[in-house]
């Protein structure tokens, strides 16, 4: 397989994730879109690792995964503490802060 | 049946027989059985009881905390695999073991904290 | 999709794994803070509840002092080196910014540790308990969380790593190490916790969004250069055998991640909400220390990795700087909440800092570093004053409530007036010297873009003076409102933080030369 296609796939996934973040309203779905973007980054890293012939990219993907896991835990904890009070995970309902 | 493609022919034949068996059995079932659908029959099966309420239910908050802890520990373990490949190579040895010890120690610190804060109690 | 050559598996496997050399003395500031933070977690797990606050505060204070001493020691040795297999660069800017972070961290820690203003401190012990429930009313009378100290230390160690990071991966890990504790700290306010949680949610979602851009940019730059170290990217940009498309797309995406953290327009929308919703001591910490760390990282990326692409990035970052200054200044005029006002002012200040950064000269670098230190002290002191103006409901942050404060508490109002004048850039304050240094460095380059930026900078400074002076006029000349808030007597910690902040603002305005010289001597990156 031509590895260039995987870069294109990664770019497409990243774009889907970014568009999702911009148009969706549920905090959890938003968060899943961000995860999609991170994983698109991972795919690109691993592909470039193959193209460049160095293993660095694969190790970097490990780091991204681990950091993403830490981010998931903290993010879900914040989303859940809001949900427990408000019974809603919609980001449109989080509207106390504006001028 | 011999040769390179022959072994695939065996596989193909097996697949065809499998599909055929499934189709014959299900069609026979369909033709032979009686068919009288009713509203009660198409409700969700829940241990013989009628389902009550919506399908959105909240889980106990404890589940989330366990899930969070699991996510962290499961994913951090990813660093153990590359380490396990090289730690006994010349030039690594003790240093690599100590470094992984520190890494696991920091993780264990989190678990210790969770334990002392009584997050791990299931009541 | 042609043009890529694919390595064979045999080539991929033929790698040379070896242990990197670690210079522990150079890494000591970060290691001390990280170790103390881990120790803090243990303290919180095992120390008795009554003594936790004292132990945690003492531990954090000592750790930051030791880290500062380690930075000073390293600076006196004069080390300039790449360590940990080029992942960390210990050079002048690293040491200057780490020292700044340690000092500002100590001052911010004083605010975080203050418990005299409110029983149990400004934080709540369990933020996950639903607001208004029975359990929440019970915990409102209890001691606040002491986890804030380890969280602060984790954030500071991440920031110190961030300014030292010499490759994109280390930078990303450091970015998350300092961001994740900040997200949590935002959600812990004792008063108005719904707002505080909302601030944390917004900060988190947008922060994670920005770091996803950083990651993808890092992947593209890795594809371009075959390495993520800044030196390697610089060399690859010099040779440029592959298409520069990857280089520029990657740079743009990495820049999105960094510009988000420094709150440059159009990546600034989180700033006012987070600054307003977070507990004020955390806001002070973010406003001072996050700015230092994020700008340190951005400066290193621009100066070390992409100085060859300077002509291509200058128009883009220049436009962003102009937008940042304009939007920050103009929207600051319309604000009615003092914390939001300072948030927009911090956005505008990010613009002024970008002016210094875009000079791409030694003077630009040293002036930006001086600006970061000076601004940090002033902004911490300003937020310290905000913690003092209170009513039954916590802090009274609406501007109308500040009317007539000068009669009620002349000293506090006087201090705040001085700080506002410093923000406005009046001579004899650090605000003047730092703006002067930054604009001077930009003019010294003598090219079209820096000069245009300075013109916008001066114009927006004048616009920005208006909201500051309006606050001053309101405090001294307006009639007090019906229910005017009381000014709490500051505890020892807040007094100390205020004193340090105000003194630094004054001294850096009157005798700036020692610190300017220090910044000037430090202003050289190694590659």
**Please, are residues C221 and C233 in contact by the beta-carbon 8 Å criterion?**
yes
Q: Which residues on chain C are in Cβ contact (under 8 Å) with B96? A: 19
What integer pLDDT is reported at residue C14 of this predicted model? 46
- Is the pLDDT at B102 greater than 60? The verdict is yes
Smallest CA–CA separation between B99 and chain C, in Å?
A: 11
Is C9 within the bounds of a domain? no
Q: What is the pLDDT of residues C115-164, one digit of tens each?
A: 888 888 889 888 878 877 888 888 877 888 899 999 999 999 999 999 99
* Rounded CA separation C289/C154 (Å): 13
- As a whole number of Å, the CA-based R_g of chain B is 28
- Is the pLDDT at C1 greater than 50? The verdict is no
Is C8 within the bounds of a domain? no
- Is the pLDDT at A80 greater than 70? The verdict is yes
C10 vs A: CB within 8 A: no
| Half-sphere exposure at residue A82, Cβ-oriented, CA atoms within 13 angstroms | 30
Please name the residue ranges forming H helices in chain A: 4-23, 27-52, 56-86
- Is the pLDDT at C473 greater than 70? The verdict is yes
Parent domain of C139: 20-522
Which residue in B68, B116, B118, B119 has the most chain C C-beta atoms within 10 A of its own C-beta, making it the best mutation to test that interface? B116
The CA distances from residue C113 to C52, C56, C153, C491, in Å, are: 12, 9, 13, 10
What integer pLDDT is reported at residue C377 of this predicted model? 96
Q: Which residues on chain A are in Cβ contact (under 8 Å) with B79? A: 62, 66
What integer pLDDT is reported at residue C12 of this predicted model? 47
Q: What is the pLDDT of residues A10-46, one digit of tens each?
A: 999 999 999 999 998 888 899 999 999 999 999 999 9
CB A69 to CB B72 under 8 A?
yes
- Is the pLDDT at C189 greater than 80? The verdict is yes
Question: pLDDT band for position B2 (50/70/90)?
Answer: low
* Rounded CA separation C47/B116 (Å): 11
What integer pLDDT is reported at residue C445 of this predicted model? 87
- As a whole number of Å, the CA-based R_g of chain C is 23
What integer pLDDT is reported at residue B86 of this predicted model? 82
Q: What is the pLDDT of residues B77-94, one digit of tens each?
A: 888 888 888 887 777 878
pTM of the model: 0.89
Smallest CA–CA separation between A45 and chain B, in Å?
A: 17
- Is the pLDDT at B119 greater than 70? The verdict is yes
Residue C179 token pair: 């961001």
What integer pLDDT is reported at residue B10 of this predicted model? 84
Which residue in C16, C17, C22, C44 has the most chain B C-beta atoms within 10 A of its own C-beta, making it the best mutation to test that interface? C17
Nearest CA in chain A to B80: A62
Mean pLDDT of all residues in C221-227: 91
Nearest CA in chain A to C332: A99
Q: Across the interface, which of C6, C131, C277 has its CB nearest the CB of A3?
A: C6
Number of domains in chain C: 1
Residue C210 φ then ψ, to 5°: -65, -40
Q: Match 């610089």 to its residue by tokens.
A: C234
Q: What is the pLDDT of residues B21-57, one digit of tens each?
A: 999 999 999 999 888 888 877 777 667 666 666 666 6
pLDDT above 70 coverage of chain C, percent: 96
Q: Which of A85-94, C357-366, C449-458, C495-504 has the lowest mean pLDDT?
A: A85-94
Number of residues assigned to chain B: 123
Is C15 within the bounds of a domain? no
- Is the pLDDT at C2 greater than 60? The verdict is no
Kindly compute the dihedral angle of the four CA atoms of residues C292, C295, C297, C298, in this order, to the nearest 10 degrees. Answer: 180
Cα(first)–Cα(last) distance of chain C, in Å? 32
- Is the pLDDT at C75 greater than 70? The verdict is yes
Residues forming beta bridges with residue B49, ordered by sequence position: B46
Q: Which residues on chain C are in Cβ contact (under 8 Å) with A60? A: 169, 218-219, 222, 228
Per-domain boundaries in chain B: 4-42, 61-116
CB A78 to CB C219 under 8 A?
no
What integer pLDDT is reported at residue C155 of this predicted model? 97
């Amino acid at each position: 397989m031509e590895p260039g296609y995987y870069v294109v796939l990664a770019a497409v996934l990243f774009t889907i994730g970014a568009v999702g973040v911009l148009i969706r309203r549920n905090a959890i779905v938003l968060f899943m879109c961000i995860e999609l973007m991170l994983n698109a980054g991972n795919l690109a890293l691993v592909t470039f690792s193959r193209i460049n012939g160095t293993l660095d990219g694969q190790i970097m993907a490990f780091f991204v995964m681990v950091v993403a896991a830490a981010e998931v835990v903290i993010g879900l904890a914040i989303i859940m503490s809001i949900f427990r009070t408000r019974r809603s995970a919609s980001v449109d309902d989080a509207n106390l802060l504006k001028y | 049946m011999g040769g390179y493609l022959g072994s695939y022919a065996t596989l193909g034949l097996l697949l065809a027989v499998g599909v055929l068996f499934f189709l014959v059995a299900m069609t026979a079932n369909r033709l032979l059985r009686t068919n009288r659908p009713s509203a009660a029959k198409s409700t969700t099966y829940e241990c013989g009881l009628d389902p009550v309420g919506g399908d959105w239910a909240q889980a106990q908050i404890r589940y989330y905390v366990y899930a969070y802890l699991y996510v962290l520990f499961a994913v951090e373990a990813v660093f153990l695999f590359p380490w396990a490949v090289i730690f006994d190579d010349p030039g690594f040895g003790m240093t690599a073991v100590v470094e992984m010890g520190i890494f696991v120690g920091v993780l264990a610190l989190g678990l210790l904290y969770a334990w002392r804060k009584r997050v791990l109690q299931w009541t | 999709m042609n043009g890529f050559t694919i390595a064979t598996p045999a080539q991929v496997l033929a790698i040379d794994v070896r242990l990197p050399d670690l210079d522990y003395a150079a890494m000591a500031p970060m290691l001390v803070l990280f170790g103390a933070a881990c120790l803090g977690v243990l303290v919180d797990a095992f120390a008795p509840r009554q003594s936790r606050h004292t132990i945690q505060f003492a531990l954090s204070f000592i750790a930051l002092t030791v880290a500062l001493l380690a930075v000073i020691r390293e600076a006196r040795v004069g080390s300039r080196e790449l360590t940990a297999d080029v992942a960390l660069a210990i050079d002048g800017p690293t040491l200057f910014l780490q020292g700044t972070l340690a000092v500002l961290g100590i001052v911010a820690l004083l605010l975080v540790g203050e418990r005299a203003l409110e029983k149990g401190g400004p934080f709540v012990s369990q933020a996950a308990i639903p607001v208004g429930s029975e359990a929440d009313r019970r915990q409102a009378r209890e001691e606040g969380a002491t986890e804030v100290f380890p969280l602060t230390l984790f954030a500071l160690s991440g920031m110190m790593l961030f300014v030292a990071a010499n490759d994109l991966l280390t930078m990303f890990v450091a970015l998350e190490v300092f961001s994740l504790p900040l997200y949590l700290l935002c959600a812990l306010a004792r008063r108005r916790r719904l707002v505080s949680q909302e601030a944390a949610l917004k900060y988190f979602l947008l922060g994670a969004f920005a770091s996803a851009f950083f990651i993808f940019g890092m992947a593209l730059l890795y594809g371009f250069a075959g390495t993520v170290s800044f030196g390697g990217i610089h060399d690859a940009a010099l040779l440029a055998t592959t298409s520069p498309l990857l280089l520029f797309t990657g740079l743009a995406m990495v820049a999105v991640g960094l510009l988000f953290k420094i709150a440059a327009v159009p990546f600034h929308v989180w700033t006012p909400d987070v600054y307003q919703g977070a507990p004020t001591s955390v806001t002070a910490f973010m406003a001072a220390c996050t700015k230092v760390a994020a700008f340190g990282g951005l400066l290193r990326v621009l100066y070390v990795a992409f100085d060859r692409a300077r002509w291509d990035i200058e128009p883009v970052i220049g436009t962003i700087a102009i937008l940042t200054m304009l939007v920050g200044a103009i929207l600051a005029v319309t604000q009615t909440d003092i914390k939001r006002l300072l948030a927009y002012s911090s956005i505008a200040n990010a613009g002024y800092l970008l002016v210094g950064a875009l000079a791409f000269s030694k003077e630009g670098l040293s002036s930006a570093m001086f600006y970061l230190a000076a601004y940090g002290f002033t902004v911490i002191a300003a937020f310290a004053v905000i913690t003092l103006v209170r009513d039954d409901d916590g802090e009274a942050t609406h501007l109308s409530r500040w009317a007539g404060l000068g009669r009620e508490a002349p000293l506090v109002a006087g201090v705040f007036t001085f700080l506002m004048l410093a923000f406005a850039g009046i001579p004899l304050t650090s605000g003047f010297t730092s703006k002067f240094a930054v604009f001077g460095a930009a003019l010294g380059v003598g090219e079209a873009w820096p000069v245009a930026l300075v013109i916008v900078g001066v114009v927006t400074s004048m616009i920005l003076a208006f909201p500051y002076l309006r606050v001053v006029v309101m405090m001294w000349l307006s009639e007090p409102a019906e229910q005017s808030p009381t000014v709490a007597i500051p505890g020892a910690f807040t007094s100390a933080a205020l004193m340090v902040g105000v003194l630094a603002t004054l001294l850096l305005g009157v005798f700036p030369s020692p610190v300017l010289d220090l910044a000037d001597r430090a202003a050289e990156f190694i590659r």
